[in-house]
């Protein structure tokens, strides 16, 4: 077993946009499933873990990191602040891509933008500007703009956005994304 398997598991769960099961964690860490399950069990049962700001949750064999419920008051304050704060240029760019190309997976979005979008997607979800809707064949969630976004812009449909048809059906972008899917 890797000396830092716990660290690897925490890192994977921290950056993952979805819950992971032990099999997925074993795949990503390159460790045996039994070793991954043992470390996960230890992480769930250690009393010292319960005093940390981040705790491990388990539900039906899937794992996720979450904030400690003891800190819910300050976390809710931060979320409330994030919900009402202005969008960054990166968030606006991401939101624009989702509006014109959605529904879109995180993989496709990151191929277009060239950077990780995990935290931006999280923030846009918190603000209620996007939503998850369905999954592709690989189980990856699709993101699309929300009704709140449409209401905020004062449009009835994404099709009412400037140059929507040209940008939504851009041949070069479709070919680019198709080539990235096969890599």
Please list, in sequence order, all residues whose beta carbon lies within 8 angstroms of the beta carbon of residue 122, skipping any fewer than 6 positions away.
17
- 57 bridge partner residues: 64
Contact status, residue 144 vs residue 125, Cβ threshold 8 Å: no
pLDDT tens across 139-161, in order? 788 999 998 888 877 787 888 88
Q: Which residues contact 56 (CB under 8 A, 6 or more apart)?
A: 13, 40, 43, 44, 49, 63, 64, 65, 66
Average pLDDT, the chain: 83
In the chain, % of residues over pLDDT 90: 26
Q: Where in the chain is the domain with CATH 1.10.10.10?
A: 5-69, 86-181
Q: What is the H or E stretch that residue 76 is in?
A: helix 72-84
Global pTM?
Answer: 0.52
- Please tell me the distance from the alpha carbon of residue 79 to that of residue 160, in angstroms, as a whole number: 31
Distance (Å) of CA 167 to CA 47, 107, 158, 179: 53, 19, 11, 18
Which tokens sit at 122? 């999280």
DSSP letter for each residue of 120-181: HHHHHHHHTSEEEEEE-TTSPEEEEE-HHHHHHHT-SSGGGSTTHHHHHT-HHHHHHHHHHH
* 37-74 core/surface letters (b: 16 or more CB in 10 A; e: else): bebbeebeeeeeeeeeeebbeeeeeebebebeeeeeee
Residue 50 has pLDDT above 80, yes or no: no
Query: Has domain 86-181 been given CATH number 1.10.10.10?
Result: yes
Count of alpha carbons within 13 angstroms of residue 159, beta-carbon side? 1
Question: What is the CATH architecture assignment of 5-69?
Answer: Orthogonal Bundle (1.10)
Hey, which of 31-40, 122-131, 141-150, 172-181 has the most confident mean pLDDT? 31-40
């Amino acid at each position: 077993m890797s000396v830092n398997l716990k660290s690897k598991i925490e890192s994977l769960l921290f950056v993952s946009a979805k819950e992971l099961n032990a099999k997925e964690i074993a795949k990503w860490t390159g460790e045996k499933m039994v070793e991954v399950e043992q470390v996960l069990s230890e992480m769930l049962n250690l009393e010292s873990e319960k005093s940390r700001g981040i705790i491990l949750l388990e539900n039906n064999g899937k794992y996720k990191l979450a904030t400690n419920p003891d800190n819910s008051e300050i976390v809710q304050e931060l979320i409330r602040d994030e919900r009402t704060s202005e969008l960054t240029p990166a968030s606006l760019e991401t939101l624009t891509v989702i509006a014109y190309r959605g529904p879109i997976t995180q993989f496709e979005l990151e191929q277009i933008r060239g950077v990780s979008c995990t935290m931006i997607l999280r923030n846009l979800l918190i603000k209620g500007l996007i939503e998850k809707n369905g999954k592709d064949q690989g189980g990856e969630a699709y993101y699309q703009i929300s009704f709140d976004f449409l209401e905020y812009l004062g449009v009835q449909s994404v099709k009412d956005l400037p140059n929507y048809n040209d940008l939504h059906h851009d041949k070069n972008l479709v070919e680019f994304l198709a080539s990235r899917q096969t890599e």
